[in-house]
Amino acid sequence: MSKDKNLPLKVTELNKKISNLFDAHFGEVSVQGEVSRVTYHSSGHVYFTLKDEFSSISCVFFKSYAQKSTIRLAQGMQIVLSGKLNCYIPNGTYSINVYSFVMDGLGALKKMFDDLKLELESKGLFENKKKLPMIPKDIVLITSITGAALQDMKSVAQARFPLVRLHVLDTLMQGSSAKDSIVSSLKFADKLGADVIVLARGGGSIEDLWCFNEREVAYAIAKCKIPVVSAIGHEIDYTISDYVSDLRAPTPSAAMELILPETATLKSALNSKLANLKHTFKNILLQKLMLLNSLDSKLASLSPKTKLEAKLALLTSKKERLNYAMQDLFRGYEKRLELLNSNLTNLNPANKQLNSLVEISKDGKVLTLAELKKDDVVELSNLEVTRVAKIVL
């Protein structure tokens, strides 16, 4: 027996004994330390080192456990992990197979939150908020199809504005894979040409909501060309996504109330706008009609026909005035001529001699003195007067 104890062990035998010793004397262990040298493998496993000020130990977070985690491991995190010691027999190294971990106090999480918030704020990611449309037609909901948040949002949308079209992108809302799932959904949603993107989930612990405090998610939101509304958790829950988004809603239901108009209110506003539009249109129409009438009058006054008619009327008027003037002139000349003729006749010596001559006529027949008989009634005329006489001898 003693002889067997003194026999040298093979390396594999020693490593197996150490492994058995771990199994026999160590159950599940809880270890506190700082995370460093984190590697996310394509297989889904996570490899990292847990250290303190004096030493370190390798850790393996296998996929089956890692995908259940609500927080993504990062350099510098202070955590308390639970797991099982494992000796890797081929090379005699030992590590911890991690089952789960929690942040070592809320102070560490708050520091990470504040540091990232300060970084993003300094880079302007909280500025230049995009304005939401007044009446969105298409809304993309980035959420879990199994969560209560989806049903809440659908109910509010149906009650407020049934005409809106909702497009749901089923997305992981917690766990180590949630960050990548959210980023992927945001990129896809931004290409759909919708009016608004809503990133929504119900309430939870700070660990449950930690994926919305990830740097990659914040930048994915900031790069969206479509307005993004963050509706994470309850009213008291604030995440980095809330600060980066164009609008923060306290709950998923509140997000729909903020985004969608109420049908009755919208109808009232539309009726008011329609009345104002009719009034404005009527005023514009009246102004245009007045302008048209004014232009029509101006056009009529500038028409060649109107001008010709005006010239013709003026010509007719002048013709009539000319005729009247000519008649007046002729009458004047006639009177003047008669006067001159009378004066000339009076001044003519021959007329004076002729005026002493008398013409004797009876019944329109001119007679000589020899033809006169007693009791004949005759007319005696000279150039100036006519007299009736009776022959008595």
Q: For 37-86, write each residue's pLDDT tens digit.
A: 999 999 999 999 999 989 999 999 999 999 888 788 888 888 899 999 88
Number of Cβ within 10 Å of residue 352's Cβ equals 12
Residue 2 confidence (pLDDT): 43
- CATH fold of 110-264 reads Rossmann fold (3.40.50)
Measure CA 366 to chain center.
119
* Residues 247-290: tens digit of each pLDDT: 999 999 999 999 999 888 878 888 888 889 999 999 999 998 89
Burial grade of 84 (CB within 10 A; 0-12, 13-18, 19 or more): middle
Q: Measured between alpha carbons, how far apart are the two ends of the chain, in Å?
A: 227
Alpha-carbon distance of 161 to 259, in angstroms, equals 10
Q: CA gyration radius for the chain?
A: 62
151-154 own/partner pairs: CB under 8 Å, 24+ apart? 152/251, 152/252, 152/253, 153/198, 153/200, 153/231, 153/252, 153/253, 153/255, 153/256
Residue 392 confidence (pLDDT): 84
Q: Which residue has the higher pLDDT, 157 or 270?
A: 157
Residue 5 confidence (pLDDT): 64
Alpha-carbon distance of 142 to 130, in angstroms, equals 18
* Residues 283-340: tens digit of each pLDDT: 999 998 898 888 888 777 777 877 788 888 888 888 889 888 888 888 888 888 888 8
Contacts of 161 (CB under 8 A, 6+ apart): 135, 260, 261, 262, 263, 266
Contacts of 80 (CB under 8 A, 6+ apart): 30, 31, 32, 101, 102, 104
* pTM (2 d.p.): 0.55
- CATH fold of 2-104 reads OB fold (Dihydrolipoamide Acetyltransferase, E2P) (2.40.50)
- 204: which 2 tokens? 């939870």
Residue 191 confidence (pLDDT): 96
CB 96, CB 84: distance < 8 Å: yes
Alpha-carbon distance of 218 to 231, in angstroms, equals 14
Burial grade of 202 (CB within 10 A; 0-12, 13-18, 19 or more): buried
The pLDDT > 70 percentage for the chain reads 96
Mean pLDDT computed over every residue of the chain: 88
- 341: which 2 tokens? 């003729």
Q: Delimit the CATH 2.40.50.140 region(s) of the chain.
A: 2-104
CB 59, CB 48: distance < 8 Å: yes
Alpha-carbon distance of 199 to 213, in angstroms, equals 13
Residue 355 confidence (pLDDT): 64
Q: Which residue has the higher pLDDT, 217 or 351?
A: 217
Residue 141 confidence (pLDDT): 98
Cα torsion angle, 262, 266, 267, 272, sign: positive
Mode of pairing for the β-strands spanning 28-40 and 228-232: unpaired
Residue 221 confidence (pLDDT): 97
Q: Delimit the CATH 3.40.50.10550 region(s) of the chain.
A: 110-264
Cα torsion angle, 346, 350, 353, 355, sign: negative
Tokens 């009634």 sit at which residue? 377
Residue 353 confidence (pLDDT): 63
Residue 1 confidence (pLDDT): 42
